[in-house]
Amino acid sequence: MHSFQYGTTTIDYSVEYIKGKKDVSLSVCLTEGVKLGVPEGLDSRKLEKILHKKAPWILKKKSELDEIITPPQPREFVSGEKFSYLGRHYRLKVNKNDNINKPTLTFNQGRFIAEIPVNFSDEESRLGLTRLFKNWYITQGNKKIADRLKLHCPKMELEPSKVVFKEQKKRWGTCTKEGAIYLNWRIMMAPMSIVDYVLVHELAHIKFPDHSSHYWNYLRSILPDYERRKDWLRINGQLLIL
């Protein structure tokens, strides 16, 4: 680990020397901190000059990362545990049942109810309920998104070719050049205003496929407070997990 001084602030960073690389790449992330990819043999004075030039940007990114709420401990899927749906939290009740051979999950009167075969291990229960919760979020998501499309599409004067929930590791949504929209199923844990932001964000890409100023102006015309919603997702997104 290396470090340099910028004013009164010490910034730590790591360096990876890459054979054949022609320029310097710089990233700031939650897990690896400040990381540089540099050409082999780059002069240390030149590298330090680049770091000082980029220091304001680095500090801004680090400040943004400091706001991010880190995820809680992994789910245990036990009675009393809370699960989010559209921003509200609902408790889980787990029952052991000797009359079934696979787990089930229902939502009734404001709580999740899971039935687990008596002979299931904790790991089998966890895997089974993870799958059932994911399927439940997707099923509910399909119903909600159908209603939101009826709300947003007429005023935006556009229509996606399809909207599909899927597993996405790093994105909340994507839009293809054919107008197909893919949404991360975990977004259904967020408040409805955030679901709307992700959906409208992708719908707007049907009209503007890039992130140009025209795109952001158009998005603002549909959601004047989109920046607030975007910030909520940046800060709280890692809480939307099973």
Half-sphere exposure of 194 (CA within 13 A, CB side): 24
51 token code pair = 């770091």
Fold of 82-239: Zincin-like (3.30.2010)
26 token code pair = 């710089």
Q: What percent of the chain has pLDDT over 90?
A: 63
pTM: 0.77
Could you report the per-residue pLDDT of 10-26, keeping only the tens digit for each? 888 888 888 888 888 88
Whether 18 and 40 have beta carbons less than 8 Å apart is answered as yes
Q: Which of 4-13, 106-115, 220-229, 232-241 has the lowest mean pLDDT?
A: 4-13
Residue with more model confidence, 48 or 93? 93
Please state, in angstroms and rounded to a whole number, the distance separating the CA atoms of residues 200 and 228. 14
Q: What is the pLDDT of residue 86?
A: 96
Q: Is the pLDDT of residue 107 over 90?
A: yes
Could you report the per-residue pLDDT of 161-213, keeping only the tens digit for each? 999 999 988 899 999 999 999 999 999 999 999 999 999 999 999 999 999 99
Domain ranges of the chain: 2-67, 82-239
Report the chain's terminal Cα–Cα distance, integer Å: 34
Q: What is the pLDDT of residue 213?
A: 94
Is 72 in a helix, a strand, or coil? coil
Could you report the per-residue pLDDT of 70-85, keeping only the tens digit for each? 777 788 999 999 999 9
Residues 6 or more apart in contact with residue 84 via CB below 8 angstroms: 90, 189, 190, 239, 240
CA angle 76, 166, 105 (to 5 degrees): 40
Q: What is the pLDDT of residue 61?
A: 82
